Amino acid sequence: MRTPRLYSILFALVFGSMVLVFLQNIVKWPQVADVNGAEYAVEEVEWTLDSWMDESLQNRVTAQFKRTLGTRPLFIRTHNQLFYSLYNESKTYVLVGKDNQLFAYNYFPSFRAFDLKEVEHWEQIAGGLKRLQDTLSTAGIEMLVVIAPNKVRYMPEKLPDHLKHEPGATSNWQRFVKECEKSNVNFLDLNQVFLEMKGRSRVDLFPNTGTHWSAYGATMAMDSIMRRFKHSEYTELHYETGQWTDSIVDGDIELAEHLNVWWPPSMNRQFMFDVEVDTMGRKRPNILFISDSYFWTINSLKLNHRMLSDQHSFWYYNNTNYDTEHGIVPVDSLDRWSELFSRDAVVIMGTESNLKEVPYGIIQDLNLELSR
């Protein structure tokens, strides 16, 4: 008698799953939260006889159906949870390290020097930056190149065992620093600063569930950037006291979210400093930041809004402008030279894994390349 009853239970489960898929896909009930992270768009294919005959049309329709299936996030999270819980394994780009540390895999190649560029490349980059720096200097505008830290390089001992924990013999970071020194480009190497603080900082410089710097790391970075400028009358940061908190800033749990599991690892408690900005008798400079995603933590903490002029701007990868004057618009819609010459300073920032993209094409946009 038990066998028929078991069959009935299995049938009910399978049939119930089919009904759930039908209801969710047709009437959008129950609501299912989408998965996190970016996905490639499904390529458009024209409805033609040729596309039908070579099956490209059918493949696109199938891919689109899978992408828009309402219960897809449920199945993805269940699948990912099984591998995470049973094998401590991720099915996304997130690396599950030791002691609850998560890493983004795209920061690993730069650590191992898999993406190494030739010395000639860095000579050209440093030369272009020097020409931009000298051009801005004629108008009394300072330029600073900032190398943001790499969590993988900071704590390679926490990487999973199947990945090598030793850095490559040389790296884009080392070559870039060397050429900046040779060309007298003003730069601030926070990658090195963070390494020197390892073991000495009582506060986490990176959240265990994120890839960008922590609130403390970002505060220290902004303070270091402002202190590198020659103008002593600029605003200053003061942060000496604070408290441990469960609150987060943008990016603190992005890797945990991108695991796309039901029960992601929890974030370690973070220390939030009580930040004071000294503006008494000081100038809030108009600074343009041209940066990758490391600037978002600074923005989330509102350090830029408190320390800088209301006219300051952020150019995300030299592609999208964020400011109060123009709003969110393509940088190509602006006059780059006019924007640069309206500033007190320009900061070009990128983390180690993005150095091969720095300075994000702005040298070409400004026609500062040397003719060959």
Q: Is 80 exceeded by the pLDDT of residue 72?
A: no
Residues 9 and 130 in one domain: no
Give the number of domains in the chain: 2
Q: Is position 145 within any domain?
A: yes
Q: Is position 237 within any domain?
A: yes
pLDDT of residue 131: 97
Q: Is 70 exceeded by the pLDDT of residue 188?
A: yes
Of the candidate ranges 22-26, 70-74, 192-196, the one whose mean pLDDT is the lowest: 22-26
Query: Please, are residues 297 and 206 in contact by the beta-carbon 8 Å criterion?
Result: no
ω before 30 within 30° of 0 (cis)? yes
**Nearest C-alpha neighbor of 132 from the set 340, 333, 288, 285:** 340
**Nearest C-alpha neighbor of 343 from the set 303, 284, 287:** 287
Report the alpha-carbon distance of residue 102 to residue 88 in Å, rounded. Answer: 11
Q: Is position 372 within any domain?
A: no
Q: pLDDT digits over 152-174, tens only?
A: 999 999 999 999 999 999 999 99
Q: Which tokens belong to 229?
A: 């400028």
pLDDT of residue 279: 86
Residues 3 and 131 in one domain: no
* Residue ranges in the chain assigned as alpha helix (H): 2-27, 49-53, 56-68, 72-87, 108-112, 119-137, 151-154, 172-183, 190-197, 215-228, 254-258, 295-300, 303-307, 336-341, 362-365
Structural domain containing residue 359: 100-365
Work out the pLDDT band at 35, boundaries 50, 70, 90. low
Question: Mean pLDDT over all residues of the chain?
Answer: 88
Work out the pLDDT band at 250, boundaries 50, 70, 90. confident
pLDDT of residue 74: 79
Residues 8 and 106 in one domain: no
| Residue 281 φ/ψ region, left for φ over 0, alpha for ψ in the -120 to 50 degree band, beta for the rest | left
Q: Is position 47 within any domain?
A: no
pLDDT of residue 28: 60
| Residue 328 φ/ψ region, left for φ over 0, alpha for ψ in the -120 to 50 degree band, beta for the rest | beta
Residues 122 and 252 in one domain: yes
Q: Is position 254 within any domain?
A: yes
pLDDT of residue 223: 96
Give the rounded distance of the alpha carbon of 19 from its chain centre. Answer: 40
pLDDT of residue 4: 74
Residues 1 and 106 in one domain: no
Residues 255 and 350 in one domain: yes
% of the chain exceeding 90 in pLDDT? 69
Residues 247 and 347 in one domain: yes
Q: Is position 113 within any domain?
A: yes
Residues 165 and 284 in one domain: yes
pLDDT of residue 12: 74
Bridge partners of residue 349, in order along the sequence: 146, 291
Q: Is 80 exceeded by the pLDDT of residue 191?
A: yes
Of the candidate ranges 68-72, 74-78, 279-283, the one whose mean pLDDT is the lowest: 68-72
Q: Is 50 exceeded by the pLDDT of residue 372?
A: no
Q: Which tokens belong to 179?
A: 């050429």
Query: Please, are residues 340 and 136 in contact by the beta-carbon 8 Å criterion?
Result: yes
Q: Is position 92 within any domain?
A: no
How would you class 208 by CB atoms within 10 Å of its CB: exposed for 0-12, middle for 13-18, buried for 19 or more?
buried
Q: pLDDT digits over 115-141, tens only?
A: 999 999 999 999 999 999 999 999 999
Residues 118 and 19 in one domain: no
pLDDT of residue 63: 63
Residues 305 and 180 in one domain: yes
Q: Is position 55 within any domain?
A: no
**Nearest C-alpha neighbor of 299 from the set 289, 40, 351:** 289
pLDDT of residue 13: 73
Work out the pLDDT band at 23, boundaries 50, 70, 90. low
Q: What is the mean pLDDT of residues 79-104?
A: 94
Residues 253 and 342 in one domain: yes
Residues 328 and 243 in one domain: yes
Q: pLDDT digits over 287-310, tens only?
A: 999 999 999 999 999 999 999 999
Q: Is 80 exceeded by the pLDDT of residue 59?
A: no
pLDDT of residue 332: 96
